[in-house]
Structure formats: C-alpha cells, structure tokens
Chains A and B, each alone.
Chain A
Amino acid sequence: MAELSKNVKISTQSVNLYYGSYHALKDITFDIYDRAITAIIGPSGCGKSTLLRIFNRMNDLIPHVRIEGEILLDNLAIYGNNLEASPLRKKVGMVFQRPNVFPMSIFDNIVIGPKHHGIKDKHALAGIVEHSLNQVALWDEVKDNLKKPGLSLTPGQQQRLCIARALAVEPEVILMDESCSALDPGSTMKIEDLMLELAQKYAIIIVTHNMEQALRVSDMAAFIMIGEDKVGTLVEYAPTTKMFSYPQDQRTEDYITGRFG
C-alpha cells in the first residue's frame, strides 16, 4: 500500500440520515482520500450500505429519506436544492453486491453509459469498450465475443463487466457495495487485484463484511456499529493497518478480533 496522498476527495460533515422517523446514521464525520481505498466495515445492519449510498445519492430512491449535514465532493456540496443526482452519479460510479449486467450484449453494456453522456462516434465508443475492458482485465477473454449477451459470462466476469461499465463513464470515485460477496475465491482475488490497480487513479470506497479483505486491500478503514441508542455511528476511522494492530476503541477491537458481528 502506497503512502496516502492525503488529498481529500469526499468530506462528510456531521451527517445524519433518517428513514422517516427512524434514525439510521448519526453524526458521521470523516474524510475520504483520493487515490486510496477506504473500507467501511461493521456488523450487519449497522448502516454500511446506507452510508455508501449517500455518496452517489442512491438513497434518493427510497421514499421518506432525510439527510442532514454536509457531504462535499471536491469541496462542492452534493446535496442541495438545485442539485441533480445524475451528474453526481456520473462522477461517483457504483458496483453492486451482485453483478447486475443488463440483458444486452457485452458491447452494449459498456457503451450505454457513454452514449447517454453524449458520445455518439462509433470509433470513440469502440475505443471506450476496449479501454474499459482492458482496465478490468476482461478484454482478452471477451474481445472476440463482444456481441454475446453479457449474461452469458461467469459471475466473476459479469462483476468485472459491471466494473468496466462503471469505468466507461469516467468516474472519479468508485463505490463497491460488498462487490465480492457473491463470487468465488478466485474471482474475488481478481477483483481485489483490480481494486488495488484502480486505486492508482480513483478514490475507491468499499463496503465489506470480510475483515481479511479490508486488511488486504484498504488504506483507510471506517468502523461503524449501532450504538446503545440504536443508531449507527462511526466508532473509529484510521489507516487500516493501524486500526487492525492498535484499535483505539474497545468495540473496534472486539469486532475485528471476531468477538461479535
């Protein structure tokens, strides 16, 4: 793991999130660095995915969600009266828990994003397809079958296709919501290698249940758990190696040593 750049990409300041009257996340404050992997860890149901989905406003889809506090991407607020979610989501890409390849060809899966953002030129699109698939090390496996349905690939390949699809719209941040949990160990390893590779260029935020994975890939770790008031809080945020060797909070230590969760 390289030295942290310490360039703040996303700044989260006193964020509270409510589903209707249910308080889900309380007073979350931390900075996410560029060109690094930040892992959000914590027990099931503590709000890890909810926190992740704040960064690309995916929570907007859920009715009655209310978010307080400030989230800044490159020092610009991402929530606000006149701000639309779509331009933000172009900058902050997302890879989901299960591969969600669209029921269309491999080629179309990649170009659908760029096409919507105004790229019409066929050569440019073909170039994007090759470049994106190369970035996820899938090009050599599928270059002769670009017209084949994306769903005909193996789950591991599908997940890499989904990453390529996210990269094709040239994001700056990539969110990965337990993106390996539905994959076999071999595919998981490939995707982890890919994360490390992509962290040279992008800010990556992952949610993971897998402590070993957090330790293997992430630079920073944010430990979230439900406090005594039943609300998810950020217990500890530190460089991953530091958190795993010298946890500052008793609850962090209990969790990462497997005493609960």
Chain B
Amino acid sequence: MNNFKEKLAGRIFLVLAFSSISALALITVFILIQGAPIMTKVGLFKFVFGMEWAPSQEKFGIFPMLVGSVSVTLGAALLGVPIGICCSIFLAEFAPATVRNIFRPAIQLLAGIPSVVYGFWGLIFIIPVIRDYLGGPGLSILAGSIILAIMILPTIISISEVSILALPRQYKEGALALGMNQWQAIWSVMLPAAKSGIVAAVILGIGRAIGETMAVIMILGNAVALPESILDPVRTLTTNIGIEMGYAAGEHRQALFATGIVLFIIIMIINASAQYITRKK
C-alpha cells in the first residue's frame, strides 16, 4: 500500500515537472514556427545585421536594436557589477549583524519592485537629471543603464554573497595566518576562490538586464537608429517586440517573433555559460 502511494506520488510529481518543461518546449516551438519563415525569407545575415527596420516597406533589419540591447546591458554591467560585488563583500565580510539584517531584506525588496515602477521612477527622476546636466533628450542609453544596473543588483549581490559565504573558513584563516590583512585576504585568496560563483552572478545579472522590457520601454526613447553616444535614445530587442506586437500583422508580426528568436538565443548562450562556469571547479 505504502509502496503504491509512493509510486503514485512519484508519478504526480513527474507529470507536474514535465508540464513546466513542456511549457518551455511549446514556447520554443511556437516562436520558431512563427519567426523562422521571415528569417529565411529576408536571410539570416540581412535580418541580424540589417540597418533598416521599416515593416511597412518590408525592411526587417534588427542590427540597431541589437546594438541597443548590447549597449544598455553593457552599461548596466559596468555600473552594477562593481557596486554589486563590493556590496556582497561588505555583507559577507565586514557588515555587523545589525547592518546585515537590514541590508539583506532591503536588497530582496529591491528585487520585488515591479519593473514598471523602476521605469516610472527613471522617467520622472533620472531622465530630467540627465537632460538638464548632460544634455540630449534624457531618454538614453545612460538612463537605461542606470535603471538596469539597479535592477540587476539583487541578483549579483545575493549570488556573490552566497558564494563568498560558502567558502571554507580555512581559506580566510590561512590567508590571515600568513600575515595578510583582511582586505588582502579577501582580494587575493577569497575572491579568486569564489570566482566561479561571482562570474555566474554577473552573467545571470546580465541575462536579467538583456531580457528586461517594461522599465526600458519607458526610458530608452525607443528610436530605431544606431546610437552615437550614451546620451542617444535606442531601442532594444525586447522593447521592439513590446512596442509593436500590439498592432503588427503578417510579416511584421513574424519579424517580431524572429526578434524573439534572436533574443532567446542570446539569453540561452548567457545562461549556458553561467551554468558551465559554475559547474567547472
């Protein structure tokens, strides 16, 4: 009887687990079916590296959006990674318990804020500041980078902190026993030892940044053109889909799905490299 119960429970869990995997499979197949025809029609190279996006004239080149996504994500990483790693070191090694008990939930809360709120805050706060002090329209790569940097902080901080805390205490003691001070022990023994976890944290943060849509729709300006400076507006792959899907039809709609395929592949590469790095010891 017990044996039967256990088997039944096993089956139920299997079905439930399978349903989540099949959702992934369904989505993948769906966007491939929807997007692949236009890619083959336009030509993969012309689609990815084409400079012009004019659906009404049947011009489907997403290169400016690719540049937009990459530049905003890179900017977010440049701003967010150093802050995030320093914050995780502070929490893992320096912060007294009282400070840590305030910081940790606060950072988790940061992850819980809806992205539309981030976008709105950027729109009314960051954009005027950039416009007034640095010039340009304000809606820009810089604004997007700042907002995304804040949005990826929780990912980077929590994963880096866990990987630092997971280090055996003996590493730190060993380093200190050689006469290093605490900062030297962190820098030359603990950080290298926690490297794989920290790199994974950074990559997952980047994955989150490149996939973010709502916040960046509101603050990037969404112009389909190659940016010349970080104060120029851009459109990302995600915002392209988000903005146009509502009214697109026919080939235009297919091209948006094809944009999704490109995004999907980029994110898969990012996640796979994160997995590869964490697994490799």
Q: Which A residues fall within an 8 A CB radius of B?
A: 56, 58, 61, 84-91, 93-94, 96, 98, 100, 102-104, 112-113, 116-117, 162, 165-166, 169
B173 touches A58 (CB 8 A): yes
B 167-207 to A, binary, CB cutoff 8 A, 1 in contact else 0 = 01011111111111100100011001100000000000000
Specify which chain B residues have a CB less than 8 angstroms from the CB of A96 in the assembled complex: 170, 173-174, 177
Task: Find chain B residues with CB under 8 A from A58 CB.
Answer: 173, 176-177
Max chain B C-beta neighbours (<10 A), residue from A88, A93, A94, A102: A102
User: A166 near B178 (CB under 8 angstroms)?
Assistant: yes
A87 contacts which chain B residues (CB < 8 A)? 179
- Closest approach, in angstroms, between the C-beta of B94 and any C-beta of chain A? 13
Q: Establish whether residues A89 and B171, one from each chain, have CB atoms under 8 Å apart when the complex forms.
A: no
Would A102 and B193 be within 8 Å (CB), given that A58-B173, A112-B188, A116-B188 are in contact?
A: yes
Give the residues in chain A near B188, CB-CB below 8 Å: 112, 116
| Partner among A100, A116, A162 whose Cβ is within 8 Å of the Cβ of B180 | A116
Is A89 touching B178 in the complex (CB atoms < 8 A)?
Answer: yes
B187 nearest CB across to chain A (Å): 10
Distance in angstroms from A72 CB to nearest chain B CB is 19
Q: List 12 A-B contacts (CB under 8 A).
A: A61-B173, A61-B176, A87-B179, A89-B177, A93-B177, A98-B170, A102-B192, A102-B193, A103-B171, A112-B178, A113-B179, A166-B177
Is the beta-carbon distance between B174 and A169 smaller than 8 angstroms?
no
Contact present for A169 and B173 (CB under 8 Å) = no
**Chain B residue with Cβ nearest A94:** B177
Partner of B179, one of A100, A104, A116: A116
| B86 → chain A closest CB, angstroms | 21
Q: List residues 121-174 of chain B with CB under 8 A from any CB of chain A.
A: 168, 170-174
Chain A neighbourhood of B178, CB < 8 A = 89-90, 93, 112-113, 116, 165-166, 169
List residues of chain A with CB within 8 A of the CB of B180. Answer: 86, 113, 116
